[in-house]
Amino acid sequence: MPQNDKQTLTHRASRFATTHIQYQSAPLFLMRQQLATILETARNAAPTILSRAEFETFKAGIAGPNGSLTAAMKSMASVPKDERPAVGKLLNQTKSEIEKIFANTLARIEQNEIAARLGAPIDPSLEPPDVAVGSIHPLTQTREEIAAVFHKLGFTIADGPEIETEWYCFDALNTPPDHPARDMQDTFFFPPATRCPDAPKHATEAYLLRSHTSSVQIREMLRRPPPLRIIAPGRCFRRDTADATHSANFHQIEGLWIDENVSLRDLKCVLDFFAREMFGTNAQIRLRPSFFPFTEPSFEMDIKSPNLGRLSDRWLEIMGCGLVDPNVLKNTGHDPTRWTGLAFGMGIERIAMLRYGIDDIRHFYANDLRFLRQFA
């Protein structure tokens, strides 16, 4: 093509363009271009935005005070009056497109945030990785078994407060003020101003954390007249340094049977039955003379059984017991010439340890599943 023909073509093209611009008007044309660029840039950038911070920057770049769309809107001022409706319409269209882009981008970011918080998707129809269901704690199991044994003999469950008073825990149980169990070193006392509506006081005595469940004997004897036959399982507290056989917090089961003519023979029968139910039909019992302020005579009971693994065939001390001291009957308003009784008290931990061959009391409180699962 000759050189001047080319020029002619260029010239024609530019003339055509000029005509075209004139047809649309210059401001409208420029604005259309400017807005198309803004929209396209936004469309391309939107999918790359991943965080709220990025989104805010993106939004500010378009619609913020120095944003591209804001600038376009400001340039309305230089548009001739008769062009303004058309330019305004174009601006509004673009604005609503941009708003859609903003809304979609933000919705996508929010979705991602929720997904991130929820973590990897799960399949609820899959089996759980840990199919083991929970089980009853060995101390609870032991408590229930002991209760079931005494239930067969007509004992029912009685309950008493863990925060007790000195009178119920000691005085009424014939325990003199100078008895070592009342020592601050053994028993947790509360400050004098303490109030505890669950455990009404006898007089003005101090509150303490009960050091044995024998206090329930007193509350029960005051609550209802004999004959009565109860066991009282519960938590006790003593100032002990934790080691393999001691814990400042442990559990006991108290037994009390008050009736006419309850004798030592009954005590032996009840405890013999208990030993054979808990430790096998070949279990034997032995009562050794001992002392408790609230029983007379008092004994330590030992058991011997061939079914106790490495503890088999040895005498093992398992509880204190005796006949209810007449003073305890008097203190609770009962005539000791008419009523007699037997009482016993054992540590639930001790029974469970002997039965299962557990050598450290702390296992019961450590919540180690490797230990607990063995009792499932």
Residues found near ligand PHE in the complex (CB under 6 A): 212, 214, 254, 292, 295, 320-322, 343-345
Buried/exposed 44-76: b ≥16 CB within 10 Å, e otherwise? eebeebeeeeebeebbebbbeeebbbeebbeee
- Structural contact between residues 219 and 168, judged by C-beta atoms closer than 8 angstroms: yes
Amino acid code (one letter) for 85: P
Report long-range pairs for 102-110 (Cβ below 8 Å, ≥24 apart). 102/59, 102/63, 104/46, 105/46, 105/49, 105/55, 105/58, 106/55, 109/49, 109/50, 109/51, 109/52, 109/55
Cβ distance to ligand PHE smaller for residue 295 or 305: 295
Strands 207-209 and 163-165: antiparallel
- Structural contact between residues 139 and 349, judged by C-beta atoms closer than 8 angstroms: yes
DSSP 346-368: EEHHHHHHHHHT---GGGGGS--
Q: Taking the complex as a whole, how short is the minimal distance between the CB of residue 133 and ligand PHE, in angstroms?
A: 36
Q: Taking the complex as a whole, how short is the minimal distance between the CB of residue 134 and ligand PHE, in angstroms?
A: 31
Q: What is the CA angle 176-177-181, rounded to 5? A: 85
Cβ distance to ligand PHE smaller for residue 138 or 341: 341
Q: Taking the complex as a whole, how short is the minimal distance between the CB of residue 321 and ligand PHE, in angstroms?
A: 5
Cβ distance to ligand PHE smaller for residue 279 or 292: 292
Q: Taking the complex as a whole, how short is the minimal distance between the CB of residue 164 and ligand PHE, in angstroms?
A: 13
Cβ distance to ligand PHE smaller for residue 139 or 372: 139
Q: Taking the complex as a whole, how short is the minimal distance between the CB of residue 294 and ligand PHE, in angstroms?
A: 6
Q: Taking the complex as a whole, how short is the minimal distance between the CB of residue 138 and ligand PHE, in angstroms?
A: 21
Residue nearest to ligand PHE (CB): 345
Task: Please provide residue 300's backbone torsions phi and psi, each rounded to the nearest 5 degrees.
Answer: -100, 135
Cβ distance to ligand PHE smaller for residue 101 or 321: 321
Cβ distance to ligand PHE smaller for residue 207 or 344: 344
Cβ distance to ligand PHE smaller for residue 343 or 353: 343
Cβ distance to ligand PHE smaller for residue 308 or 321: 321
| Nearest residue to 179 (alpha-carbon basis) of 216, 212, 204, 203 | 212
Torsion over CA: 116, 118, 123, 129 (sign): positive
Beta strands in 112-199 (DSSP E): 156-157, 163-165
Q: Taking the complex as a whole, how short is the minimal distance between the CB of residue 364 and ligand PHE, in angstroms?
A: 18
Q: What is the CA angle 245-246-248, rounded to 5? A: 160
Q: Taking the complex as a whole, how short is the minimal distance between the CB of residue 292 and ligand PHE, in angstroms?
A: 4
- Structural contact between residues 201 and 352, judged by C-beta atoms closer than 8 angstroms: no
Cβ distance to ligand PHE smaller for residue 58 or 344: 344
Q: Taking the complex as a whole, how short is the minimal distance between the CB of residue 252 and ligand PHE, in angstroms?
A: 6
